[in-house]
Amino acid sequence: MSSQKDPEHTGKPKRGFSRRGFMRGVGLGSGALGTSLLEREAVAAPPPAKVVGPGPVAITLKINGKPVNLKVEPRVTLSDALRNHLDLTGAKRVCDRGTCGACTVMMAGKTVYSCSVLAIDAQGKEIETIEGIGSPEKLHPVSAAFWNNDGQQCGYCTPGFVMASKGFLEEHANPTVEDFKRGLGGNLCRCGTYMGVKAAVLEAAKTLAPAVGGKKNG
Amino acid sequence: MANTPNYSWPPMNTRKVMGTRPKRVDGPVKSSGRAKYSSDLNFNGMLYGAYLTSPHAHARVKSVDTSAAEKADGVQSVYVIAAGGAEVQWQGAEIAAVAALTEEQARDAVRLIKVDYEVLPHNVLDADLAKVAAPFAQKAGERLQGDPDKAFTEAEVVSEGQYGIPVVTHCCLEPHGQVIQWQGSGDASQIQAWPSTQDVTSYAGDLGQHLKVPATNIKVKMDYVGGGFGSKFSPDAWAVAGANLSQKAGGRPVKLWLDRATEQLMAGNRPSLFAKVKVAGKKDGTITGWQGETWGSGGVTGLTMPNNVPYVFDIPNSRRNHTSVRVNGGPSRAWRAPGNQQASYITCAAIEDFAAKAGLDPIDVFAKNLGYAPAARRDTYGLQLTKAAELADWKKLWHPRGQSGPGPIKRGLGLGIATWQGAGHASQCRTIINPDGSVRVEIDTQDLGTGTRTIILQVVAETLGLPMSQIQLLIGSSDLPRDGASGGSTTVGGVSTSSRRSSVNALAKLFEVVAPDLGVQPDQLEATDGQIRVTGTPGKSLTWAAACKKLGTASISEMGIFTARGDAAGMTTGGVCGVQIADVSVDVETGVVKMNRYTAVQDCGLIINPRLAESVVYGAVIMGIGTALFEERSMDQQTGKMLNPDMEFYKLAGIADVGEIQVHLDIREENDKRGVIGLGEPPAVPICGAIGNAVANAIGVRVPNIPMTPDHVLNALEGRA
């Protein structure tokens, strides 16, 4: 169980979110990691890191196709920036440490746990939140599939599941149930809606198939 | 109205909306991420709150110095919850709270609060009584029934076993908390709360008592709640803290929610229960005696003697002893059928062990002893045992314990049972019909994700002969007619009864207005397919819009009242059973238990929406699989701390962990006539029993303690359990 988003575990998505990749990326200048790792990264990365903070810094995020300016402390996560500063509250803060997937958004075309990305590190990348992929009146096909198959109860995990499913299906056009059990292993639901979620992902895979047609599974 | 209105449900075969499977009405707003849970709310001028909690399991607070925190950047108010002299009895207990302009500032500021503690002795152990220090374990009763000594002396078969189910946490995905605003003071106070609660109805009254503010001055609003499962009833200390922070900050709204660690530490868990049980009986499977020692804990208050072990089966000769264990851990809260999972697990495991000892099929042993079950439930259990066995391929797949064949992967089947009440709670609802034909239904209930919104609309649509989309429904606000707490599986029976009544009453008023136009008496009219017509006479009718136009300028506004004091009139009743079967494979080399297939046969009453009812049963089973396989609050006696107050080491089931699940709801006319019965809890009961028994059946030995983790399984295989 638990997260299977790391491609080294699944052997499936070639360019997916990886904890190791995340650690490498965030290691530069974040000050959030142990010194030994930072020292090793420093050797591997000659140009000195740009130091910002600790007070709020002005940043620009490209969210759902639009540039957005905000001021946040460098320690503010992408999920907190979205929720507290931009009122984009589809992504939920649940575990706040990269376990449950409720905060999943797309960044540079890949699903990420937005609680585990710093807002300042998300600059320059296309960020897509659930607010950017549809509305209650015009549901994205993945959202519609969750509704059609009752893949939700309290609904708090649903936006994260929808984004994770969308990201997964964009890389796996014709998944088997076994495929997406691994692909969605990084999202947790407490109400127990996995039967509906399974049916939803299968339906969404069919709906989206023409759009992602040429790609082979895996 | 001349006559007493007929509120009874329309006959099953005439229903047009009830009994059908519409999708949940809040699905689009939830699926698109637009549903605003209270934890999603942002207001102008809103402050962020943060909590300081106790690092100690047991301590006396000597002093709290907030001076540095008060001067910290962005801080607007500080509120001390546990002042000098206070005793804290668990890690995570609230000490103080801060409100600041940003969340980061609030978190920084609480770290500047200096607390001097006198650390006191603690106990966090409950599983092994021998390790619990004397003052923390207290004998809490003995109950004797019949002559157990004689039963054991005369027994042809005696089985013995030890069983346990640990403390697990609710782990609602939306944590506990609220946004809250307190303007003014005393009787001039105006408080607005946006909580995450299972009980909008009582929230203002409860909070008012804590704050000494009239309930009439408190408004409560909640559109969506991100999970509760029994842990979100009262406003709690964080509402009091948040309100005080707001008032001290000049009445600005404060957003105070628990972080995950605090949520896990103190915002809801289920009590443990452990047992040593001996069962006496005959070779034919008849049970004649029960001897059980139980112990467990719900926190610092311990655990009173459970009155439901053995569960369902009232065994004539029994001796029961209980020890209450006090642990310095967050207090237990109601959990989806409180006390039932524990009792069901211990009972079903002990009966399974008896069956194995007697060399009998447990289904036969359960069936053989149904005479000990409540008379009203016996036949249903009998039918359910047969149905569940059929659906689970029991005859083909079951084998005597341990005879699982060669190879390291051992397959096994096991069963568990449930019972629950689930009759509707007292509820009031208002239905308004306007001259323009629009309809509004008002009730202060909440939709926990069970589909409450959807089923209310189905009831009203059925009653008024309108499509669901033509009815506006308002819930989740203290301004609306009182419903009740969503606990005990009482919501569906309550809201369906009151909304049916309010709609029948409103419709009767409309009939009075339009009857003269149609040249008949009001009681000769019916509402169907968007028309008001003379009963059975399609030609003599008015469209809904034309009929409502006759109201002139006066809307109809009618209440529906259900007191739940003998006035259900068959619209809602309680009392259901369930039988579930787990089919698992256990790798005896790694100890990993894998779910193959799970079968849930669930008794029910009138089902308003089979789609949502099935979802509730699936959900209950999946939550149960999590508790049976993975979940356990892990405590360290040395430090008194919880080792897994998170979601990476406190493991919930994921999509790959649950196997296939089949749900059988017994929807038929005979059950329909029982009226509406709640289903949130009963299917959540049997899972630990079914899975524990399936594992024993697979590997040939009993794994005493839930969860069925590799260490527990391997210990049992090595005889270390």
Contacts of B229 in chain A (CB under 8 A): 190
> Angle A194-208/B610-629 helices, nearest 10 degrees?
110
Chain A residues with CB-CB distance to B174 below 8 A: 92, 94, 154, 156
Residues B187-215: pLDDT tens digits? 899 999 999 999 999 999 999 999 999 99
Give the closest of A2, A156, A198 to B651, CB-based: A2
Report the alpha-carbon distance of residue B49 to residue B179 in Å, rounded. 9
**In the 8-state DSSP scheme, what is residue A72?**
E
Q: What is the pLDDT of residues B501-513, one digit of tens each?
A: 999 999 999 999 9
Residues A176-200: tens digit of each pLDDT: 989 989 999 999 999 999 999 999 9
Question: Tokens in use for B503?
Answer: 């709609």
CA angle B321, B326, B330 (to 5 degrees): 130
Q: Of A44-48, B62-66, B83-87, where does mean pLDDT reach its minimum?
A: A44-48
Of A2, A137, A159, the CB nearest to B654: A2
Residue of chain A with shortest Cα separation from B105? A73
Concatenate the DSSP letters of all residues of A91-115 into one string: S--SSSSSSS-TTEEEETTEEEEGG
Q: Which residue has the higher pLDDT, A13 or B258?
A: B258
Q: What CATH fold (topology level) applies to the domain B12-35+424-562?
A: Aldehyde Oxidoreductase; domain 4 (3.30.365)
Is B33 in contact with A89 (Cβ distance < 8 A)?
yes
> What integer pLDDT is reported at residue B2 of this predicted model?
45
- Note whether B448 contacts A197, CB cutoff 8 Å: no
Contact B670, B393 (CB under 8 A): no
- Which is more confidently placed, B242 or A44? B242
By the 8 A CB rule, do B438 and B467 touch? Answer: no
Q: What pLDDT sits at residue B643?
A: 98
3-class secondary structure, B180: strand
Residues B308, B292 contacting (CB under 8 angstroms): no
ipTM: 0.97
Q: What pLDDT sits at residue A10?
A: 39
CB contact under 8 A, B174 and A94: yes
Minimum mean pLDDT range among A33-42, A80-89, A94-103, B427-436: A33-42
Structure tokens at B122: 């603690």
Give me the residue label for tokens 């047609």.
Answer: A213
Q: Is the pLDDT of residue B537 over 80?
A: yes
Measured between CA atoms, the residue of chain A closest to residue B33 is A90
Q: Give the other-Cβ count within 10 Å of B158's Cβ.
A: 18
Cβ atoms of B610 and B675 closer than 8 Å: no
Contacts 24+ apart (CB under 8 A), B523-528: B523/B2, B523/B3, B526/B465, B527/B463, B527/B464, B527/B465, B527/B466, B528/B16, B528/B465
Q: What is the pLDDT of residue B188?
A: 94
Q: Please give the radius of gyration of chain B, using alpha carbons only, rounded to the nearest integer.
A: 28
Q: Most distant CA pair in chain B: distance in Å?
A: 85
User: Tokens representing B588?
Assistant: 């005896």
pLDDT, position B721: 63
Mean pLDDT of A42-60: 81
Yes or no, beta carbons of B227 and A154 under 8 Å apart: yes
Vertex B443 angle, CA B439 and B446, to 5°: 125
Other CB atoms within 10 Å distance of the CB of residue B449: 28
Burial of B682 (0-12, 13-18, 19+ CB in 10 A): buried
User: Given pLDDT bands bounded at 50, 70 and 90, which one contains residue A212?
Assistant: low
Q: Find the CB nearest B630 among A1, A143, A155.
A: A1
Write the CA distances from B238 to B95, B172, B210, B307, B339, integer angstroms. Answer: 11, 16, 11, 33, 26
Position A23 pLDDT exceeds 80: no
* Residues of A with Cβ-Cβ distance to B652 under 8 angstroms: 100, 188-190
**Which pLDDT score is estimated for A51?**
87
Q: Judge whether A156 is closer than 8 Å to chain B, CB to CB.
A: yes
Q: How far is A38 from chain B (nearest CA, A)?
A: 24
- A17 or B390, which is more confident? B390
Contact B35 A155 (CB under 8 A): yes
Helices (H), B468-527: 491-518
The topology under which CATH files domain B45-120+176-257 is Aldehyde Oxidoreductase; domain 3 (3.90.1170)
pLDDT over 90 at B258, yes or no:
yes
Q: Between chains, do B622 and A196 touch, taking CB under 8 Å as contact?
A: no
B533 touches B526 (CB < 8 A) = yes
Say if the Cβ atoms of A156 and B651 lie within 8 Å: no
User: Of A1, A152, A189, which has the smallest distance from its Cβ to B31's Cβ?
Assistant: A152
Contact criterion met (CB < 8 Å) for A152 and B27: yes
Closest by Cβ to A96, choosing from B24, B259, B450: B259
Within chain A, what is the greatest distance between any pair of CA atoms? 52
The structure's pTM equals 0.94
Asked whether the predicted pLDDT for residue B531 surpasses 50, the reply is yes
Do the Cβ atoms of A140 and B32 come within 8 Å? yes
Question: How far is Cα B659 from Cα B629, in angstroms, rounded to an integer?
Answer: 12
From chain B, the residues in CB contact with A137 under 8 A are 28
The answer on pLDDT for B538 being more than 90 is: no
Smallest CA–CA distance from A179 into chain B, residue: B656
Q: Where are the domains of chain B?
A: 12-35+424-562, 45-120+176-257, 269-422+573-717
Residue A26 in this model has a pLDDT that exceeds 70: no
B98 has a pLDDT exceeding 50: yes
**What pLDDT was estimated at residue A120?**
97
Q: What is the pLDDT of residue A45?
A: 59
Residues in CB range of B480: below 8 A, 6 or more apart: B430, B442, B443, B444, B474
pLDDT of residue A211: 57
Say if the Cβ atoms of A159 and B618 lie within 8 Å. Answer: no
Residue of chain B minimizing CA distance to A155: B30
A143–B32 CB contact, under 8 Å: yes
On the question of pLDDT at A66 being above 60, the answer is yes
8 Å CB contact of B28 and A76: no
> Mean pLDDT in chain B?
97
**Nearest-angstrom CA–CA distance, B624 and B653:** 9
Q: Percent of chain A having pLDDT more than 90?
A: 69
Shortest Cα distance, chain B CAs vs residue A42, angstroms = 28
A154/B226 Cβ within 8 A: yes
- To the nearest whole Å, the CA of B40 is away from the closest chain A CA by 6
Residues whose CB falls within 8 Å of the CB of residue B351, separated by 6 or more in sequence, listed in order: B279, B287, B313, B362, B365, B366, B369
Of B30, B174, B652, the CB nearest to A152: B30
Q: Do A80 and B103 touch (CB under 8 A)?
A: yes
B28: distance to nearest CA of chain A, Å? 5
Chain A residue whose CA is closest to B657: A1
What are the pLDDT digits (tens) for B438-474? 999 999 999 999 999 999 999 999 999 999 999 999 9
Over residues B653-709, the pLDDT tens digits come to 999 999 999 999 999 999 999 999 999 999 999 999 999 999 999 999 999 999 999
For an interface test with B, which of A3, A194, A197 has the most B Cβ atoms less than 10 Å from its Cβ?
Answer: A194
When CB atoms are compared, the residue of A76, A83, A196 closest to B104 is: A76
Residues of A within 8 A of B259 (CB-CB) are: 96
Q: Do B31 and A190 touch (CB under 8 A)?
A: no
Residue B365 in this model has a pLDDT that exceeds 60: yes
Name chain B contacts of A181, Cβ cutoff 8 Å.
655-656
Give the residue ranges of DSSP H helices in B139-259. 148-154, 200-211, 236-248
Contact B619 A191 (CB under 8 A): yes
Of residues B172, B81, B25, the one with CA closest to residue B650: B172
Per-residue DSSP letters for B9-75? PPPGGG-SSTTS-PPPTTHHHHHTT----GGG---TT-EEEEEEE-SSSSEEEEEEE-HHHHHSTTE
Provide the token pair at B298.
């719900």
Closest CA to A180 of A160, A166, A159: A166
Residue whose entry in the numeric block shows the structure tokens 């979802």: B615
A53 contacts chain B (CB < 8 A): no
For residue A44, give how far its alpha carbon lies from the nearest alpha carbon of chain B (Å).
30
Asked if A193's CB is within 8 angstroms of B618's CB, the reply is yes
Q: Which residues of B550-576 are buried (b: 16+ CB within 10 A; e: fewer)?
A: ebeeebbbbebbbebeeebeebbbbbb
User: Is residue A2's pLDDT more than 50?
Assistant: no
The nearest CA of chain A is from the CA of B27 a distance in Å of 5
pLDDT in tens, A125-166: 999 999 999 999 999 999 999 999 999 999 999 999 999 999
Chain B residues near residue A185 by CB distance under 8 angstroms: 654-656
Residue B129 is given by DSSP the state G
Share of chain B above pLDDT 70, in %: 99
Query: In chain B, what residues touch A188 (CB-CB under 8 Å)?
Result: 173, 647, 652, 654
Do domains B12-35+424-562 and B269-422+573-717 share one topology? The answer is yes
pLDDT band of residue A44 (cuts 50, 70, 90) is low
Interface of A with B in 72-131 (CB under 8 A): 73, 75-76, 80, 83-84, 87, 89-97, 99-100, 102, 129-131
Cβ–Cβ pairs < 8 A, chains A and B: 195
Nearest-by-CA chain A residue for B35: A90
Nearest to B31 among A162, A192, A198 (CB): A162
Asked if B74 and B119 count as a contact pair (C-beta separation under 8 A), the reply is: no
Q: Is the pLDDT of residue A38 over 50?
A: no
Contact A154 B173 (CB under 8 A): yes
**Cβ of A185 and B450 within 8 Å?**
no
Q: What is the spatial order of strands in the sheet that B59-65 belongs to?
A: B87-88, B59-65, B114-119
What is the CA angle B212-B213-B215, rounded to 5?
120
Residues in A touching B43 (Cβ below 8 Å): none
CA B204 to chain centre: 22
When the candidates are 3.40.50.150, 3.40.50.620, 3.20.20.70, 3.30.365.10, the CATH number that belongs to B269-422+573-717 is 3.30.365.10
List chain B residues with CB under 8 Å of A147. Answer: 23-24, 27-28, 30-31
Q: What is the pLDDT confidence band of residue B96, given thresholds at 50, 70 and 90?
A: very high
C-alpha B489/C-alpha B705 separation (Å) is 28
In this predicted structure, the answer to whether residue A6 has a pLDDT above a threshold of 80 is no
For the record, the structure tokens of A42 come out as 């420093």
